[in-house]
Chain A
Amino acid sequence: MAVPKRKKSRSNTRARRAQWKTSAPTLVTCPNRACGHPTLPHTACPNCGQYQGKQVLAV
């Protein structure tokens, strides 16, 4: 079985992990006037539980 010959240096490990990035999700404002919470598009609002005027989630 192939095994690593050398220990990965701290530098290499950190250089690799430096590429791990996050990105901000696209958000829209909840169309429910009473809520106005930022939500994911095409998704029921997690704050008020409505989607297209219909109550989808119990709040």
Chain B
Amino acid sequence: MPTPTKGPRLGGGPAHERLMLANLATSLFAHDRITTTEAKAKRLRPLAERLITFAKRGDLHARRQVMKVIGDKDVVHKLFAEIGPNYAERAGGYTRIVKVGPRKGDNAPMAVIALVESVTDTQAVVAEAERSRRARVAPRKATGGRTAEIAEENAAESPTAASVAAEAAEAYDVDTTDELDAQDTGEAQDTGEAEETVGDAEDADDSEAGDGSSEDADDEGLSAVGLHDGEDDESDEPKSTK
């Protein structure tokens, strides 16, 4: 059984619901913000965000997919020409729902659903700085010391060990170049010693951990391939894991 739609049902039937949601989406893209009931806003949000994702893709197929929902070509053009490119930097979360209290007449809880502002230059720079800072805090630990030795010894027997040994050799090359750079600043001794202690601390258990991590990397690669397929990733994933 397919998962039922989250949230309340709208209108008098499935066709009525589709029409209401399509009209709401059209109005949202035409006016950038609309006031509606909370229930409609909550149902509209996933549909509107999916349409914006199509607009970001921007090709003819995506445009035809959107035309299935939005009949107004002017609105579709605005969506693809203005709204989609605005959100090139943003990975989802294109709309904001703010509750505005009950309506006079039937006391229905109302909400404003609006397209969020595109990422400003300042926000983009801050986000990039945050990313780079996180990357610097936790770099991938290079294989070295005993782990590398054991990996080299067992390279002939297991392909995993061979790959670890190859990685270690690469890391060693990088380290030596780093040391050459560091010698200019007179820090070569310190960095060398630090690497020695790190290498000693990694005992034979680490070679097993290395195996696990390389397998994980393979799995990630497969799932990444699945994700690139776009819409069909859910149906593709089981095949790839087989």
Contacts of A43 in B (CB 8 A): 98-101
Any chain B CB within 8 A of the CB of A21?
no
Any chain B CB within 8 A of the CB of A56?
yes
Any chain B CB within 8 A of the CB of A28?
no
In angstroms, Cα B98 to Cα A34, docked, is: 21
Contacts of A56 in B (CB 8 A): 98, 100, 112
B interface secondary structure, majority: strand
Q: Are A57 and B99 in contact, CB atoms less than 8 angstroms apart?
A: no
Q: How many residues of A contact B (CB 8 A)?
A: 10
In angstroms, Cα B112 to Cα A39, docked, is: 16
A interface secondary structure, majority: loop
Chain A residue, CB-CB nearest to B100:
A44
Q: Are A51 and B98 in contact, CB atoms less than 8 angstroms apart?
A: yes
Chain B residue, CB-CB nearest to A39:
B101
Contacts of A51 in B (CB 8 A): 98
In angstroms, Cα B114 to Cα A54, docked, is: 12
A19-59 toward B: CB 8 Å interface, digit per residue (1/0)?
A: 00000000000000000000110111010000100101100
Contacts of B98 in A (CB 8 A): 43-44, 51, 54, 56
Q: Least Cβ distance of A14 to chain B in Å?
A: 25
In angstroms, Cα B98 to Cα A56, docked, is: 8
Partner of B112 from A40, A46, A57 at Cβ < 8 Å: A57
Query: Chain A residues in contact with chain B, CB under 8 A?
Result: 39-40, 42-44, 46, 51, 54, 56-57
Name 18 interchain pairs, CB-CB below 8 A, sorted by A.
A39-B101, A42-B99, A43-B98, A43-B99, A43-B100, A43-B101, A44-B98, A44-B99, A44-B100, A44-B101, A44-B112, A46-B100, A46-B101, A51-B98, A54-B98, A56-B98, A56-B112, A57-B112
